[in-house]
Amino acid sequence: MGRTRWTTPEDTRAARHRSSLPEVRRHGAAARGRSTSSAPGRTIKQVEPAGNDDRQASSHACRRGSHPYVYLASAPGIRIFPTLHTSRIPRMKIGLIGLGRMGGNIARRLMRDGHQTVVYDNNADARANLAKDGGEAVDSLQALVQALPSPKVVWVMLPAGEITENTIQTLSGMLGKDDIVIDGGNTFYKDDARRAEELAAKGIHYVDVGTSGGVWGLDRGYCMMIGGDKPTVDHLDPIFRTLAPGAGDIPRTEDREGRDPRVENGYMHAGPAGAGHFVKMIHNGIEYGMMQAFAEGFDILKNRNAAHLPARERYDLDVADIAEVWRRGSVVSSWLLDLTASALAKGPELDNYSGYVDDSGEGRWTVNAAIEQAVPAEVLTSALFARFRSRQDHTYAERLLSAMRMGFGGHIEGRGKPPKEGEHS
């Protein structure tokens, strides 16, 4: 059977739009996927991606952070945040509940691309901060629902567990037929499947979005794995296109002709309700394994000068420089390595970290899924158990794990308090 050919009205319209874009050139660090300040006498403007060719000029996809600033030789330099849309793409009005590290920046990224947001959080200061940035802040769930046009779209960005469950339950009593609830937190995928059935009985659509991007998502964009019925996910596409990182300068994968073009821009419709969070769950399990491999490897490097080794086999290695050189052309180059290099450059001893490493639930769920499916997962399981061990004794490897978690998610180390299952990372 042949593959489905994916095209969108936006692709057709944007292809006509290309000729109206000013002539631009990528410049310096911006072209290589790193943040850069504007140079005197240059204006920075975002290339607006349309078809697959134009999408290559947008922000970098999930693998490496890129700031797609493009210079125009004209007026004094001005920094423009990434955007994925042409002016022809429709904007939406959306409610956002939960204005923490990720929720607040999701609202800001949407507003920077012209979407309207109605925002709510129990914390009045969080509401006030979003209001300063252009959000319509309200002081109750009821007010948020009333401020939205129909069909209403409400994005819940809260820690997985009771608070999300209670919030969605309350919303279900306020929303009506064809309204949409999006859960963008790290919810357990089986809870998604149950909620989708419960809300469908009331005519309400449910979409789960596994969201990766951490505290850098405002500028980099968010890699998203989406679960839900196709008409609802398609209806929400303008929101996902804005939040996604775009294709960036990652070379296109060969033999992808005819496949869903959205994935090359950093978001995908994974399947029905629960599929998005299931894919994100496995993503986080893999993340655990990758982080543990870096942490253990650097622990070996750092301790190669140990006194019990033969003198001629001792090496006083500069781990900060090793991390930096590996970033450039090596097989293990990655965003996690970028974060590692940054942490080590600040202080190779990592003295400001104790090595206590939390887990937010997805690693446990990944291991449980492996058991349920009888799939061997030695690396992922060991990485999870290493985090458990970190709470008893703290090696250099654990301090480096803590440094990486601070780098990508702003996570503060725990102090002996066991994490709540499903707590958002």
Please list the active-site residues.
280, 287
Tell which residue, 132, 193, 123, 129, has the closest CA to residue 163: 123
Residue 301 has which token pair? 């490097």
Residue 368 has which token pair? 């449980």
Helices in 327-377 by DSSP H: which ranges? Answer: 335-346, 362-373
User: Cα-Cα-Cα-Cα dihedral of 355, 360, 365, 366, to 10°?
Assistant: -60
Integer Cα distance of 1 and 392 in angstroms: 55
Integer Cα distance of 155 and 196 in angstroms: 14
Q: Which residue do the tokens 């989406």 mark?
A: 226
Please state whether beta strands 180-183 and 205-212 pair in parallel, antiparallel, or not at all (unpaired): parallel
Sorted by sequence, the CB contacts under 8 Å of residue 276 that are 6+ apart come out as 192, 207, 208, 209, 210, 224, 225, 226, 227, 228, 270
Kindly report the backbone phi and psi dihedral angles of residue 125, in degrees, each rounded to the nearest multiple of 5, phi listed first: -65, -40
Tell which residue, 107, 149, 152, 155, has the closest CA to residue 127: 107
Tell which residue, 30, 50, 52, 54, has the closest CA to residue 42: 30
3-state secondary structure (DSSP) of residue 84: coil
3-state secondary structure (DSSP) of residue 207: strand
